[in-house]
Amino acid sequence: MKTLHKTLALVALATSSAAFAADFDTLDVNGDGAISKSEASVSETLMSQFKELDTDGNGELSKQEYSKA
């Protein structure tokens, strides 16, 4: 049973990061090649990591910045 719980926890983790990794082009609603804060707001997880991912601090995530997610 303990092993099963661990497995489930891992699956849950994998699932949550997969849900987070929505396609860049899907998130980039206006197609300007960057994810703005309002575009990121569709994902709570993404919002919580937005600052961390926005390494150049311009308030948008480039494809390169997002790919580190």
Interface segment toward Ca ion; rule CB under 5 A; list 4-12, 16-24, 40-48, 61-69: 61-69
DSSP label at 33?
S
Given candidates 7, 15, 16, 30, which one binds Ca ion under the rule CB under 5 A?
A: 30
Q: Which is nearer to Ca ion, 37 or 45 (CB)?
A: 37
Asked whether the CA dihedral 46, 48, 49, 52 is positive or negative, the reply is: positive
Query: What size, in residues, is the chain?
Result: 69
Q: Is 56 in the site for Ca ion (CB under 5 A)?
A: yes
* Contact assessment for residue 40 and residue 53, using Cβ atoms and an 8 Å cutoff: no
Q: Which spans of this chain sit near Ca ion (rule: CB under 5 A)?
A: 28, 30, 32, 54, 56, 58, 65
